[in-house]
């Protein structure tokens, strides 16, 4: 069993759908939505539960719209 569990929160109204976060994720957690935000961008969303909270996505997001959480599991 995984020792940590992570989760991210994407500010979808500020996301520009650039996709730069997608190749940065080791577990393919992120993909671009088929839906668009108020600015017309296909925003990023999570597509599985495999997040480990490594923050790679948030670190490369040019617009700083990703917040990352990580919890240890005993």
Site for ligand SF4, rule CB under 6 A: 6, 8, 10, 15-21, 24-27, 29-30, 44, 51-57, 61, 63, 65-66, 68
Q: 7: which 2 tokens?
A: 């989760």
Cα separation, 2 vs 68, whole angstroms: 17
**Chosen from ligand SF4, other proteins, none, partner binding at 52 (C-beta under 5 to 8 Å by type):** ligand SF4
Q: What is the dihedral of CA 23, 8, 66, 53, to 10 degrees?
A: -60
Taking the C-alpha atoms of residue 54 and residue 57, their distance in angstroms, rounded to an integer, is 8
When binding is defined by CB under 8 A, the residue of 3, 24, 28, 34 that contacts other proteins is: 24
Member of 9, 27, 36, 48 binding other proteins (CB under 8 A): 9
């Amino acid at each position: 069993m995984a020792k940590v569990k992570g989760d991210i929160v994407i500010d979808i109204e500020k996301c520009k759908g650039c996709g730069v976060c997608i190749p940065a994720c080791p577990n393919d957690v992120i993909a671009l939505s088929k839906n668009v935000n108020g600015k017309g961008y296909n925003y990023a969303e999570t597509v599985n539960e495999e997040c480990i909270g490594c923050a790679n996505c948030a670190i490369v997001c040019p617009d700083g719209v990703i917040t990352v959480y990580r919890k240890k599991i005993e």
